[in-house]
Chain A
Amino acid sequence: MQLDNLYQEVILDHYKNPQHKKLNAFFDAQVHHINPSCGDEITLNLSLDGRHVRDVSWDGVGCSISQASVSILTDLLIGKSLDQAQVIADSFMHLMQSKGTEKGDEEILEDAVALAGVSQYPARIKCALLGWMAFKDASLQALAKQD
């Protein structure tokens, strides 16, 4: 059924076994983001090593899409440069806005292509983006501290 496009195994796996879902005590920036329409919340800690993502950890409550998306994000972005992270985030954003017309570049997005089906459900796109918006906010704050 069409619902299977949304709830791929990868998503349910990440939901049941979320990665890096334990706030690291050491961080350069901590952000708290809320999705006011549904009550989903996330706290995300980011530490940088120069312009590299040293660590991302998080805690939060939300639906499988929001939780799986941030879990996938941590796997994808830890160890990357901020420039690479930007390319990945842009690619993910583009995929989410594709209204189901694109499958996503697996070379760049890896597991995150499993979220492609979300783009067919306008009400769920903000769920998938919650963690990504938090990461973007945290990286700007962490960089500002370096200046």
Chain B
Amino acid sequence: MAYNAHAIAKDFPILGRTIRDGKRLVYLDSGATSQKPTVVIDAEGDFYRLHNSAVHRGAHQLAEEATDAYEGARSIVAKFLNASADEVVFTKGATESLNLISYAMGNAQPGNRFHLKMGDSIVVTEMEHHANLIPWQQLAARTGANLKWLSVTEEGRLDLSTLDSIIDETTKVVALTHQSNILGTINPLESITRRAHAVGAVVVLDACQSVPHMAVDVKELEIDFLAFSGHKAVGPTGVGIFWGRADLLAELPPFLTGGSMIENVTMESATWAPAPRKFEAGVPNMAQAVGLGAALTYLTAIGMDNIHKHEITLTKYLLDGLSAINDLRIIGPKTTELRGGVVSFTLGDIHPHDLGQYLDSQGIAVRTGHHCAWPLTRKLGVPATTRASVYLYNTTDDLDALILGVQGAQKYFGR
């Protein structure tokens, strides 16, 4: 069956509303957060309406149902990533997932493979979202390890010519994004993971912009840890995933401690439950986890390869349309090769905030600013950009509206 984005859009109630005096909502900000289909909204609501109870506790039927629903969601996530359920940790979002691994490494004692000390190094890239940069800066500051990074070329690709010198025998962890939230660049992981593993480092992948948009198989990618947020994958807010290889999760110390994550507790000390519970202290965001399960089931039914293909078609259409506009400069790769559906650009001397405001007046939602990747926008010499990001429910009508809107803004501010 042919991909029908108009039909898919009907699954998302918010896309039927109007904006600013009756304008059709043209939502091109899914890179920030995606909209939610009815099945997800209902799954979250039904959990509260029918099954709400604290998971892994209580001897009553509701506790059983809640636990089944929660653990069922974990299995769905595991299948989605081609992982095992006990490798999947629920967090409240990718930011927490990345803080979890960085703080857990900071807790590792000498003798533990994750222990960091003076002389060790942490490698990131220049295109990281603040959420995959600052936790590592902080870990470096706490442990005395060096923070190093792979730089970004003018074309918006990672400069891999220095790979072997940046990632060296001192490197303990390489943390990088799968797809840049500004440039749209999809990073080639193979050479990086090979080099990282050759020197005994682990690879942490920020998959916030990839997992919602393409099939991601953690085994095939040969990575060690992965983080993503549910809300960017048509799921609820307040839930994210931290995935890690089973043998590594067994050795990684916990981050948050408290209820649920223990095996045995005395007044003096405690021992930990096996993963994933070692990393899930306290009563989790259960309804949101169940909602995420519904979201990934929804995406799977449409097919991640179909969604990715649709987004590539839209991205090409958008790149072509925007490139034809005078004074418009695309920040990032100009072709769809190793590139996803976020397109950032500048427009002459019209500031992105002003452009975004004009587009809003036409019902078009885009992101403006430095997109939480300030070092990258500084490096590229653009203090701010306008970013359009597409998803499964967008159509070429949406992109036509954007292109027309950009041209309208040129007239409006050129007066």
- Give residues in A with beta carbon < 8 Å to B: 1-3, 6-7, 12, 37-41, 61-65, 121, 124, 127
In the complex, the answer to whether A3 meets B357 with C-beta atoms within 8 Å is yes
CA distance A63 to B374 in the complex (A): 17
CA distance A74 to B326 in the complex (A): 34
Chain A residues near B383 (CB, 8 Å)? 39-41, 61
Per a CB cutoff under 8 Å, which of B21, B353, B361, B370 touches A127?
A: B353
In the complex, the answer to whether B374 meets A62 with C-beta atoms within 8 Å is no
In the complex, the answer to whether B358 meets A38 with C-beta atoms within 8 Å is no
In the complex, the answer to whether B353 meets A38 with C-beta atoms within 8 Å is yes
CA distance A62 to B377 in the complex (A): 14
In the assembled complex, the CB of A58 is this many whole angstroms from the nearest CB of chain B, namely 16
- Give residues in B with beta carbon < 8 Å to A: 20-21, 351-354, 357-358, 361, 368-370, 374, 377, 383-384, 412-413, 415
In the complex, the answer to whether A37 meets B354 with C-beta atoms within 8 Å is no
Given A63-B352, A65-B353: A39 in contact with B361 (beta carbons within 8 A): no
Per a CB cutoff under 8 Å, which of A12, A37, A39 touches B413?
A: A12
Chain A residues near B384 (CB, 8 Å)? 38-40
Given A12-B413, A12-B415: A38 in contact with B357 (beta carbons within 8 A): no
Per a CB cutoff under 8 Å, which of A2, A37, A65, A124 touches B361?
A: A2
By beta carbon, the residue of chain B nearest A60 is B383
Chain A residues near B412 (CB, 8 Å)? 3, 7
CA distance A18 to B415 in the complex (A): 17
Per a CB cutoff under 8 Å, which of B351, B357, B415 touches A6?
A: B357
In the assembled complex, the CB of A13 is this many whole angstroms from the nearest CB of chain B, namely 11
Chain A residues near B374 (CB, 8 Å)? 39
In the complex, the answer to whether B358 meets A3 with C-beta atoms within 8 Å is yes
CA distance A27 to B335 in the complex (A): 49
CA distance A89 to B352 in the complex (A): 27
CA distance A6 to B357 in the complex (A): 9
In the complex, the answer to whether B20 meets A38 with C-beta atoms within 8 Å is no
In the complex, the answer to whether B357 meets A124 with C-beta atoms within 8 Å is yes
Per a CB cutoff under 8 Å, which of A3, A39, A62, A65 touches B370?
A: A39
Given A3-B358, A41-B383: A63 in contact with B20 (beta carbons within 8 A): no
In the complex, the answer to whether B353 meets A63 with C-beta atoms within 8 Å is yes
In the complex, the answer to whether A38 meets B415 with C-beta atoms within 8 Å is no
Chain B residues near A37 (CB, 8 Å)? 369
In the assembled complex, the CB of B207 is this many whole angstroms from the nearest CB of chain A, namely 25
CA distance A65 to B368 in the complex (A): 15
In the complex, the answer to whether A63 meets B351 with C-beta atoms within 8 Å is yes
Given A3-B361, A37-B369: A124 in contact with B353 (beta carbons within 8 A): yes
